[in-house]
Amino acid sequence: VNNAADMNVHPPRRPTMRDVASAAGVSLKTVSRVVNVEDGVSGELVARVERAVQALGYRPDERARNLRQGDARPASIGFAMVDVANPFFSAILRGLEAVAHEHDCLLLSGSSDGDPDRQDQLIESFISRRVDGLVVVPSGDQLGPIAAEMLHGTPVVFLDCEPREQQADIVRSDHFGGAIDITRHLLSRGHTKIGFLGDDPSIFSAGLRLDGFRKTIAEAGLRVQDDWILTGHFNPNEWRTKVTQWLEAVEERPTALVTAQNFVTIGAVQALHDLDLHHTTALVGFDDVPLSDVVEPGISVLPQQPGRLGRRAGKLLFQRLDGFDGPPVREIIESPIIERGSGEIAFTPG
Amino acid sequence: VNNAADMNVHPPRRPTMRDVASAAGVSLKTVSRVVNVEDGVSGELVARVERAVQALGYRPDERARNLRQGDARPASIGFAMVDVANPFFSAILRGLEAVAHEHDCLLLSGSSDGDPDRQDQLIESFISRRVDGLVVVPSGDQLGPIAAEMLHGTPVVFLDCEPREQQADIVRSDHFGGAIDITRHLLSRGHTKIGFLGDDPSIFSAGLRLDGFRKTIAEAGLRVQDDWILTGHFNPNEWRTKVTQWLEAVEERPTALVTAQNFVTIGAVQALHDLDLHHTTALVGFDDVPLSDVVEPGISVLPQQPGRLGRRAGKLLFQRLDGFDGPPVREIIESPIIERGSGEIAFTPG
DNA sequence: CTGAAAGCGCTTACAG
DNA sequence: CTGAAAGCGCTTACAG
């Protein structure tokens, strides 16, 4: 009782279940029962333990609990994405968060910045924390540590992509079909010189969108010109600069643009305005963008539904964690183009 | 060697350090040494252990390691915010993520949606995982479980707010001063009927911004009219509707608006366009918004620097975790207004 | 250079 | 209804 000197050492030791037990004069197991609201403890002991918990400010250590519990109830899931600063991903994250919260489960997340190595690190850090499940929007087409982890029975939902040779649940948009729709939309307005601006094609969705573009251009009997294709991983301001430089330098300037992602769309619209080309150059983008109906002309887009993607992926994951054992689910979400003006600018010769 | 039946049981048991030890014919401790790249192990044993690790696909359990290690190296930090779907917060998160990654540390995060109870749950779930530090943008002015946790020596950085009666590191924007600047900016253009649209004032930053607005209006000898103040927690579309209804219903319509947050700005700009008031109603917002220089008129804003806030908060937190023991740091970041047109619309009588 | 024992904070499986 | 023992997967502190 006279260890005041000890008690005042800087970070006062955090009370453990053992401390609560001795303070309440009961066994460890009794404290465990009370803390976990198991029944079969007399009212008096419950009260005594609860008083001790209060007095000491005891909080159970979830790591220790989880360590012994093994595969009781999902305690945490992990989400690996490209860049949380992109609203597309943060909206997915928000959807996942909501589902995880409903299941009283912690959500770990991180951005890979499109770097496959960084992604592998992320996934490994999730795995080393023994997450109960994973949702992944992969960078690159390597599965890295994911495949091995699936062998251990960890359910994985792939978002916005479709890994080869891997049986797993998938939720994604129709990138290929969407790119075809957008490209046809521009072709039907008379454009023959169409540029494509997008993420690095090593990202699954970006690659498929580029494929859809190429295929549609070729099918229209046009040639795909490589200097009309610009890809990379940039933020809106960087895209603005890139696109401006490109439009100024390109030998023959396209009369229409496909922008394959929200940051690209924002940068490209700004670049067109900077060069005063916004009323003559058609543009349709993937992803909706804030204020796109207020800009002149309005920005035509094929919107994704990131919040819905996130919630759906979360639902599927928890279904698996709940024991669902059916064949892999594969959901492909299509969306129609929203016409706001920029995509309906017709080609005018000369 | 003949337990094939056992091996095929559905989720094959994850190999532990003990499995590696027996496969390599060494002790637990030797495996631990190799896995943690401690020296003092003969080349031959290192090779044998590494072979076994490979063969079994062994991955250390970070929870168990962390449990025994106690306060060795920061393993994880937590970030509680209002809403990750808001780019302001996701940009902060991205900044924090970068710093956490530099320190090889896991970042946990979650959204409270402005609900203090939800925030307490979040913080408690972080604490029960024994995060080594916290970064918090609080909802409401209660510290909930944070204060108790700080007593245990867990460093906390408060972001974008300033809790009363709590010694802690703080990084935030100058909400009060910013609101004064914005309001004066509009007053100096001749406006006397100025509306304020913002987050629920129970959120620290929102409250301070409203205070700054009120004070400046009063100092100008004007009366603060309650029906010119609209607050709440909505997304851009909801704000668009709210603002439209409000502008249509309000007895005397303001000629200028202060929008205290990015989602509000987006919704309000859309509402002004919907009602064709955008060329006559002045508007200055907190936070920058995509495409704000492309809209007509351009949207004047007092930009925050969320990425910088996040990185700065992360740096401070890891400084504390590194043992820095100085007095609380208090950084207040000021920004100038970016004039793009909407804020410079002068009041025209009649 | 290598290892056997004890412990981190909790839960499981079993006794009484 | 209550508890003593063993264990989760690792590390620390100590021997040899």
pLDDT in tens, B223-232: 888 999 999 9
Q: Is the pLDDT of residue A276 over 80?
A: yes
Mean pLDDT, range B308-337, rounded to an integer: 94
Closest CA to B288 of B338, B252, B331: B338
Reduce the DSSP state of residue A279 to 3 states and report it. Answer: coil
A174 contact B CB<8A: no
Residues of B in contact with A151 (CB under 8 A): 12
Q: Is the pLDDT of residue A6 over 60?
A: no
Q: Is the pLDDT of residue B338 over 90?
A: yes
B124 contact A CB<8A: yes
Question: Which of B35, B71, B73, B84 should we substitute to test contact with A (largest number of A Cβ atoms within 10 Å)?
Answer: B84
pLDDT tens sequence across B213-268: 999 999 999 988 899 999 999 999 999 999 999 999 999 999 999 999 999 999 99
Give the pLDDT score at A67.
85
pLDDT tens sequence across A289-321: 999 999 999 999 999 999 999 999 999 999 999
Cis, peptide link before residue B155, omega less than 30° from 0: no
Cis, peptide link before residue B201, omega less than 30° from 0: no
Shortest alpha-carbon distance between residue A17 and chain B (Å): 13
Least CB–CB distance from A85: residue in B64, B94, B129: B94
Mean pLDDT, range B306-333, rounded to an integer: 94
pTM of the model: 0.92
Q: How many residue pairs bridge chain A and chain B with CB atoms within 8 Å of each other?
A: 135
Work out the pLDDT band at B40, boundaries 50, 70, 90: confident
Give the pLDDT score at B70.
67
Work out the pLDDT band at A350, boundaries 50, 70, 90: low
- The Cα–Cα gap between B317 and B331 comes to 13
A35 touches strand C (CB under 7 A): yes
Mean pLDDT, range A172-201, rounded to an integer: 96
Reduce the DSSP state of residue A227 to 3 states and report it. Answer: helix
Residue B76: φ, ψ to 5°? -155, 150
What residue is closest to D9 (Cα–C1')?
B64
Give the pLDDT score at B266.
98
Q: Answer for the pair B129, A62: CB distance below 8 angstroms, yes or no.
A: yes
Backbone CA torsion sign across B90, B91, B93, B98: positive
Regarding predicted confidence, which is higher, B126 or A43? B126
The total of other beta-carbon atoms located within 10 Å of residue A225's CB is 15
pLDDT tens sequence across B8-24: 344 577 889 988 988 88
Give the pLDDT score at A2.
34
Give the pLDDT score at B9.
40
Task: Tell me which residues of chain B, numbers 90 to 119, contact chain A at a CB-CB cutoff of 8 Å.
Answer: 90-91, 93-94, 97, 101, 106-111
B338 contact A CB<8A: no
Q: Which range has the worst mean pLDDT, A135-139, A269-273, B186-190?
A: A135-139
- The Cα–Cα gap between A81 and A114 comes to 8
Which residues of B in 60-119 have their CB below 7 Å from strand D's atoms?
60-61, 64-65, 67-70, 72
A61 touches strand C (CB under 7 A): yes
pLDDT tens sequence across B158-208: 999 888 777 899 999 999 999 999 999 999 999 999 999 999 998 889 999
User: Which bases along strand D come within 7 Å of a protein CB atom?
Assistant: 1-13
A54 contact B CB<8A: no
Mean pLDDT, range B294-321, rounded to an integer: 96
Q: Is the pLDDT of residue B277 over 70?
A: yes
Contacts of A61 (CB under 8 A, 6+ apart): A16, B67, B128, B130
Q: Is the pLDDT of residue A9 over 50?
A: no
Which residues of A in 67-106 have their CB below 7 Å from strand D's atoms?
67-68, 70
Q: Answer for the pair B300, B281: CB distance below 8 angstroms, yes or no.
A: no
Give the pLDDT score at B65.
87
Q: Is the pLDDT of residue A46 over 80?
A: yes
Q: Do A269 and B294 touch (CB under 8 A)?
A: yes
Work out the pLDDT band at A4, boundaries 50, 70, 90: very low
pLDDT tens sequence across B104-143: 999 999 999 988 999 999 999 999 999 999 999 988 778 8
